[in-house]
Amino acid sequence: MVKDQNIWQILTFGRTLDINELIANRKILEAFSLKGKNAIVTGGNKGLGRAISLGLASAGANVVIAARDLEASENVAKEIKKIGTDSLAVKTDVSNQKDVKDLVNKTIEKFNRIDILVNNAGVINRPRQAATEIPEEIWDWVIDINLKGTFLVSREVAKSMIENKKGKILCIGSILCEIAQAWHAPYVASKGGIRQLVKALALEWAPYKIHVNALCPHYFRTDFVKKSLEDPERYEQILKNTPMGRVGEPEDLIGSSIFLCSEASNLMTGQIILIDAGYSLP
């Protein structure tokens, strides 16, 4: 028997359960299940978004893929259906309010409610440029999609979650939510903004049991950072600055995403969690 029964009360969200019952029925593992939940993943058709979409589906969720490339989204939707849950692809520009409202309406029309939102859609200014040379239109493009888009989608989805008095919102930030980097001023500004937006929304929506958190990865092997990883000198520098000595793979984000979208994280909100192999430690 566990000496401190309060520990188990916390792990089971206030319900007093015997340790033998927990072992026999795997009650703790049930808290990580997303069976019957309905999720939206923006930018969910490639890279980290695709991995998260497939991961949520493997945990039992129905997943709506929201991105600008409808064909790519439909391909991921087919993959999800093979896993055994339902899916829908919706052509969406997250910086466009009309598109966002259409996304929410179509999701509710098909699945009746929204339980989970993953704000993953994002862009970065390429090529790397000095702040003095970045055109205004590039600044607007990055901020509109990364920061404004995160706000617009969160705002519309939260209206539904507030009615249901429950929801999980997960924003995919970046290690640059916490540290700075030269040559990417718009991207760094947008991710820094997401850090504070997550905290503001978490505070405002806590009374409705809406949890808002962020995962902040460093270098993950996706098209987003492909050029950096293909440059031997740059790649070596990245590994040298990463205590665990490796970059992330898309699947490395699945476990933490499921956790923050599940009942297992019911006491967490407003948290910025770094998934960076120790990159931010030195």
| Token duo for residue 169 | 């919102």
Mean pLDDT of 176-201: 95
Of 228 and 221, the one with more pLDDT: 221
Residue 38 pairs in a beta bridge with: 62
Neighbours of 14 (CB within 10 A): 8
Of 194, 183, 185, residue with least CA distance to 217: 194
Mean pLDDT of 246-264: 97
**Distance from first CA to last CA of the chain, Å, rounded?**
42
Q: Is 187 among the catalytic positions?
A: yes
Place of tokens 């064909």: 71
**Least confident window among 1-5, 60-64, 67-71, 224-228:** 1-5
pLDDT digits (tens, 9 = 90+) for 12-61: 555 555 667 666 666 678 889 999 999 999 999 999 999 999 999 999 99
Does domain 34-275 match CATH 3.40.50.720?
yes
**Least confident window among 13-27, 63-77, 210-224:** 13-27
The SS3 assignment for 220 reads strand
User: Which amino acid, 225?
Assistant: V
Annotated domain spans of the chain? 1-30, 34-275
Of 141 and 19, the one with more pLDDT: 141
